[in-house]
Amino acid sequence: MKYRTMIELVCEASDKDDACHVAGEYLRGTVDSGVKMKFKTRLLQTHRAFKCGIVSFAVLFCFAALLFSVIEPGKDGQVSDSKFRIPESCTVQPELKTNTVDKFRRAWETKQNEAMLEYTKN
């Protein structure tokens, strides 16, 4: 199995090169004091899944934000006037109270037909 280990070394040094030199000596085992070490080890597969998960979440969040910012709500029950709207989409849909799928379909078709007739009249 492959693992990924992140090592953090903290030491006092006069500049960047001196800090690199102290870290190298500590990892070789020649310096024992004055350096604090922290490390974290994970399975490489877990690290990659976590990294890809964050990227995927960020992409989906940006897509959702773009989608909701582009579609503007129209007036009640009317088609939106936005130039980016989805064709024949209604921003407010009437509430349907039915018990079965067949009643729902009939009620939905009735409401849809009424909305289309009203839309074509205007």
- pLDDT confidence of residue 69: 66
- pLDDT the model gives residue 93: 60
CA gap 104, 23 in Å, rounded: 71
- Evaluate whether 38 touches 5 at the Cβ level (below 8 Å): no
Does the pTM surpass 0.85? The reply is: no
pLDDT given for residue 30 in this prediction: 82
Out of 13-22, 98-107, 108-117, which region has the weakest mean confidence (pLDDT)? Answer: 98-107
Q: Provide mean pLDDT across the span 24-38.
A: 82
